[in-house]
Amino acid sequence: MSAELSDPFAQEQVFPTDLPPKYYLDYFNYVLAFVRRRYAHILHESELAFLDDYESLSEDAQCLFIRFSNRRKSFFRTNSVSYSEIGDMDAVLTELLDRAFIETLCEAHESRFGEVIELFTKPELLEVTRLLAPEIMPSKSIKKPDLVRWLLHEYDFAVLCEVIGEMEPVVKVSFEAEVMLMKFLFFGNRYADMTEFVVRDLGHVRFQSFDEQYLSIQFDTRKDADDTLMVSLMKETFDVIKQDLPPEEIFDWFMNWQVTSGTGLSTKALPSFNTFILRVSAWLERKKMLSQALSIYQLTNDAPARERRVRLLFNLGEIDEALALCEEMAENPQNADERYFSQDFHEKIKNKKSRAVKRTTQALKAAEAIEVPVSFRYQVEFGAITYYREQGYQAFFSENEPWRALFGLLFWDIIYDTNVQTIHNPLQRIPSDFFLPDFYFKRSEQLKERLQAAHSKEIIDELVSRTYADKYGITNVLVPWYDGALEKVLTLTSLLSPAKIHAIMLEMALNLRENTRGFPDLLVWNENEYAFIEIKSPTDHLSSRQLHWQHFFAEHDVQSRIVRVNWIKDLPVNPM
C-alpha cells in the first residue's frame, strides 16, 4: 500500500474494492466500544460524554464525523464534501453542527487560521483581496505562499473569516483530542492506525488470533496513558520544528519541556522517553552543539547514550570523566557496541593514541582471504557463494533470517502468550515488550522449559515444522513466508547440536533488539564440515555485533570465521 494511502481516509472517494462502503464505520465503532470496555475507569467525564454523544448521532452523521476526524487536516470546505455512501449531506452537516461535532470557521481558534487559507487556490485568494480592498490588490503574478503571508499580515482574523465564510462555508471537526486518545488507547502507540483493519479484512495481512477476554490492559492508570501519549506527541513536534528552528531554540525547547513535564514520568512512558532523548541528542550533536548534546545524553543510560557521552567528554577535554565512563561500560556493557567500544576507547585514552586500532579492525585484518572475480564487486556475498560452490560446498545466504525464523517458530506460542500480559489489542503484531529487557525476564522459565523439552534434533525439527505449517502466512516480525525459508532453518538444525542451538536461542532472547542482528552472511557446508562465514569486501568494515557473534560462536564451538575478499580480474571467456 502506498504512502499516500497509509491513512485509509486520507483521500476522498477511495474505497477498498472488496469492503462495504461504510467499512470504516464498523472499524471506528469497534475501537470506541473496545476502549470503553477496557479503559472506562481512566477516562474523564468529558471523554465518556463524547462517547455517549457520538453513539446518539445518526449513522450518516457518524460516518461524516469519522471521515472528517480521520483526515490529516482539520478544516473543510462544505461545498467540497461529497461521499457517495452518505445521503443528504446538508442535513448531516446541520446535525453535526447542531451537536457540536463540527464548528463554524469563526468559532475556530485564530492561531490555526493559516490552515484555512491553505484550503483555497491562489485565484480564490486573489478574489478575497479584491473583495476586501480592490485598490491594493497584489499582482496576479504573486506566488501563493507570499499571497498567504500578505493576507495574514494585512487583515485580522475576524475580517478574513467573514469574507471567506461568504465565499464558501468552512467548518472544523471537533473532538480531535478525544478521537486521538481513543485510537491511542486501542493501538497503544501513535504509528499504528485504522489501516490495520483494512489490510486484515482485504487479506493482505493475517494476524495472530487472540481471545479478547485474555487481552491485557496496556495502561493501568491515566498517568500511564497521558505520559506515554505526551512523549509520542513531543517526538512528532520535534520532527516538525527541527526543520525550521535553529538548534539553540530546539535545545531550549526540549530542556524547558523536560524540566516542566519530562520529570516524574510514568514507568510505562520511560522507554519512549529514552528514545526521544537519543533522537534529540544525536540531532544536536550533528549540529555541532556538543555541550548541549552531552547534557541531554546524560538523561539516559540507554545505548548508545553512554558511548556518545564518552566521545563528547573526550572532545570537550573531560578526560577523567571519559575514562571513568569507559570503565563503567566495560564492567556492565548493554550490548556488543558498548563492550568493544569501551575497551578500544579506554586503550586509546590511556595510551594517548590518536588512531588506536579497534578490535573489529584487528579481527578483520587477521581474517583469511579468498579471491573472487571483480565482476562480483557489487554482489560480494553472491561472489563468495559462487567461490565456495566451486570448491564443492553447498552454500546460501544465512545472515539473520534463518536464526530469527528459528527463534520465532520455536517459541511462537511463548512470544504471543497472553498470560504474559503484553498483548493488548487484536491487531497487535508483536508483544509490547518485544524489544525491552522485560521480554526475557517475563518468559525466562517458559523459554528454558521449551529448550529442555526440545532436547533432540528430531524434536526441534518437529516443533519448527509443525509451527511453520500451522501458522503459515500469519504475521510475525521474525518469520518470513516464502518457499525455502523452512529449509534454511532445518539446515541450521541439521548441522548444530541441540545444546548449541539452545545457547544461541537464549542469547537472542536476552536482547531481541540487538541480538537478532549481526549473524554471519553465509552458511557453507559439505558432508564433512560446515562454517558460518562473515564476508567482507576490501572496503567493508566489521561491526561490533558481527564480532560479538564470532566470539560467541567460538565459545560454544560453532564453526564460524571472517573471510576477506580480494578482487581478481575475470577469467577470459574461451570462444566457442
Per-residue model confidence as pLDDT tens digits over 302-347: 999 999 999 999 999 999 999 999 999 999 999 999 999 999 999 9
**CB-count exposure of residue 502 (10 Å: 0-12, 13-18, 19+):** buried
Q: Tell me what the mean pLDDT of segment 403-424 comes to.
A: 97
Write the pLDDT tens digit of every residue in 223-247.
999 999 999 999 999 999 999 999 9
* Whether pLDDT at 354 is above 70: no
- Name residue 479's amino acid: V
**Residue predicted with more confidence, 266 or 147:** 266
Predicted local distance difference test score (pLDDT) of residue 11: 38
Tell whether omega for the bond before 304 is within 30 degrees of 0, i.e. cis: yes
Predicted local distance difference test score (pLDDT) of residue 15: 43
**CB-count exposure of residue 434 (10 Å: 0-12, 13-18, 19+):** middle
Helix (H, G, I), strand (E, B) or coil at 387: helix
How far are the Cα atoms of 258, 282, 300, 491, 573 from residue 286, in angstroms, in the given order?
21, 6, 19, 44, 50
Q: Tell me what the mean pLDDT of segment 407-436 comes to.
A: 96
- Name residue 166's amino acid: E
Which residues neighbour 499 within 8 Å (Cβ) at sequence distance 6 or greater? none
Predicted local distance difference test score (pLDDT) of residue 152: 83
Strands annotated E in 242-384:
368-373
Write the pLDDT tens digit of every residue in 192-211.
999 999 999 999 999 999 99
Q: Tell me what the mean pLDDT of segment 337-360 comes to.
A: 86
Other Cβ atoms within 10 Å of 418 Cβ, number: 16
Predicted local distance difference test score (pLDDT) of residue 576: 47
Q: Tell how far CA 570 is from the center of its chain.
A: 43
Predicted local distance difference test score (pLDDT) of residue 491: 97
**Residue predicted with more confidence, 281 or 576:** 281
**Residue predicted with more confidence, 355 or 170:** 170
Residues in the chain, total: 576
**Measuring CA to CA, which residue among 336, 235, 221 is closest to residue 277?**
235
Q: Please give the mean pLDDT across all residues of the chain.
A: 92
**CB-count exposure of residue 153 (10 Å: 0-12, 13-18, 19+):** exposed
* Whether pLDDT at 425 is above 60: yes
At 124, is the pLDDT very low, low, confident or very high (cuts 50, 70, 90)? confident
Phi-psi category of 188—alpha, beta or left, where left has phi over 0 and alpha has psi -120 to 50? left
Predicted local distance difference test score (pLDDT) of residue 4: 31
Predicted local distance difference test score (pLDDT) of residue 131: 85
**Residue predicted with more confidence, 164 or 406:** 406
Instruction: Label each residue of 467-480 as H, E or C.
Output: HHHHCCCECCCCCC
Other Cβ atoms within 10 Å of 501 Cβ, number: 23
- Name residue 84's amino acid: S
Q: Tell me what the mean pLDDT of segment 371-395 comes to.
A: 95
The secondary structure of residue 206, as a DSSP letter, is B
Predicted local distance difference test score (pLDDT) of residue 115: 83
Which residues in 265-282 are b (16+ Cβ under 10 Å) and which e? bbebbebbbbebbbebbb
Question: CA-to-CA distance for 318 and 312, rounded, in angstroms?
Answer: 9
Cβ atoms of 164 and 120 closer than 8 Å: yes
**Measuring CA to CA, which residue among 430, 68, 7 is closest to residue 198?**
7
At 153, is the pLDDT very low, low, confident or very high (cuts 50, 70, 90)? confident
Sign of CA dihedral 178, 181, 187, 191: positive
Helix (H, G, I), strand (E, B) or coil at 103: strand
Helix (H, G, I), strand (E, B) or coil at 333: coil
Q: Which domains does the chain have, with CATH numbers?
A: 3-187 (no CATH), 219-361 (1.25.40.10), 367-568 (no CATH)
Q: What is the per-residue DSSP string for 145-199?
A: HHHHHHHHHHS-HHHHHHHHHHHS-EEEE--HHHHHHHHHHHHSSSS--THHHHH
Cβ atoms of 488 and 401 closer than 8 Å: yes
Other Cβ atoms within 10 Å of 255 Cβ, number: 16
Tell me how far apart the terminal alpha carbons of the chain are, to the nearest angstrom: 49
Predicted local distance difference test score (pLDDT) of residue 573: 52
Predicted local distance difference test score (pLDDT) of residue 394: 97
Q: Tell me what the mean pLDDT of segment 85-114 comes to.
A: 88
Q: Cell numbers for 249, please give them.
A: 531554540
Q: What percent of the chain has pLDDT over 90?
A: 79
Phi, psi of 560, deg, nearest 5 = -155, 150
**Measuring CA to CA, which residue among 402, 396, 407 is closest to residue 531?**
396
Q: Tell me what the mean pLDDT of segment 42-61 comes to.
A: 98
Strands annotated E in 390-529:
394-397, 522-525
**Residue predicted with more confidence, 113 or 267:** 267
Predicted local distance difference test score (pLDDT) of residue 242: 96
* Whether pLDDT at 352 is above 80: no
Which residues in 158-191 are b (16+ Cβ under 10 Å) and which e? eebbebbeeeeebbbbbbeebbebbbbbbbbebe
* Whether pLDDT at 350 is above 90: no
Cβ atoms of 381 and 398 closer than 8 Å: no
Predicted local distance difference test score (pLDDT) of residue 282: 98
Question: CA-to-CA distance for 385 and 504, rounded, in angstroms?
Answer: 24
Predicted local distance difference test score (pLDDT) of residue 483: 94
Predicted local distance difference test score (pLDDT) of residue 2: 33
At 574, is the pLDDT very low, low, confident or very high (cuts 50, 70, 90)? low
